[in-house]
Every structure is written in C-alpha cells, then in structure tokens.
Amino acid sequence: TGNFNWRFIFNVMFCPRTQQIYEPKEDGILSAFTIDREPKKFKPVLQLQILDNDLLPGTDDFIGEAQLDLTNLHPARGHRFDQEIGEKVSCCPCGFWPFTTCCRHRVDPRDLSLEDKQALARDEMMYELEQRRAQCRAIADDKMQPYLKRREAEPGAYSDRFLERLRRKFERDAERELRQNIF
C-alpha cells in the first residue's frame, strides 16, 4: 500500500464550451516553421496505469488501469483524506486498487445504443412498478388483518369472495394514494 501525492503540471487549456483541452499555440522562433498551426484538441481523460517495478528492465507486469473523465469530476470541498482514511480505505468493491477490470467495465449510459437505453429504461420502470405493487399489497395486507382475525374467531363472518373484493379495493385505494403522493 502507498500514499502517493504526485503533482504534474501540464501546459494545456480547457475550453468549457467544447469540453475539451488543447495545447496553446507556442510563440517563439520554432513556431514559424510548424506546418500545423491549429492547437491539438483532446478529451479531458486521465488514464492511469499501474505496473509492478521489477529489477530487470522489460519485465514489468501490468496490474491494471483506470480512466477518469475530468469533465465528470466534482470540485473538491476540502481536504477530507484525514477524516476518511480510518473509515474508507477501499476505493472499489473489487479491492484496494481501483484499477481492476471490473471497475473498467461499468456501463456508461452515453456509450449505449438507443435500443439498450430503451431496454434499460423499461427494466427500471418495471422494477419501480413491481416495487409499487409490493407496497400496495403490504398496505392492503395491513388493512385486511382485522377482517382475517374476525374470520378466524367467527368462521362464517366473511366469505372468501367478500375478502378478495375487499383486498382488491384496499390495493386500488393504496395505488391511488401512492399516485397522489408522487405528484
């Protein structure tokens, strides 16, 4: 394990409108002889690779890599490393290093096709619908408890058909109530 605090200075400029970084034009004697006067533009992505440092040159083993899109990073609110080091040492569910392959294969919604986005949205809506139905059933079950207890005490008090209609009514009422709470 290690705590690295390296600082690199790159001579680049960031254009917020295009969300790209570019090398500024060089002013000097050699700039007159350059063919390409347009600045080179890059996506602001920081790619980190980890290799083990073997004694023999050329035998370094690749451990992993990570790519950070710098446009998606949130600004720092302050130095929190001292407070969090005791609580959160692991940066990733895969282990201490965030460079393992499972972190690299997370789905980015911007990389999905239209069909994949629609399927993802449909699955999410179906999950939410099933959660709401389960919540309605739980509310209806709570409201049905007194009726079921009375039926156990007095076997002829309520018919099965009456209890099923009552349960459906309670589920519809719960659905209506949840729908009103959404808006």
Q: Are 166 and 146 in contact (CB under 8 A)?
A: no
Answer with the residue of higher pLDDT: 21 or 95: 21
Q: Is the pLDDT of residue 103 over 80?
A: no
CA dist 21 and 47 (Å) reads 15
Which element (helix H / strand E) includes 106?
none
CA dist 52 and 59 (Å) reads 9
Q: What is the mean pLDDT of residues 91-112?
A: 55
Q: Are 78 and 117 in contact (CB under 8 A)?
A: no
Q: Report which of 14, 16, 13 is spatially closest to residue 26, judged by C-alpha positions.
A: 13
Q: Amino acid letter at 63?
A: I
Please state, in angstroms and as integers, the Cα–Cα distance from residue 55 to each residue in 17, 58, 59, 60, 61, following that order.
46, 9, 8, 8, 12
Which pLDDT band holds residue 138 (cuts at 50, 70, 90)?
Answer: very high
Tokens describing residue 125: 């809506």
pLDDT in tens, 54-80: 666 666 677 888 888 888 877 666 655
pLDDT attached to residue 145? 92
pTM of the predicted model as reported, rounded to 2 decimal places? 0.38
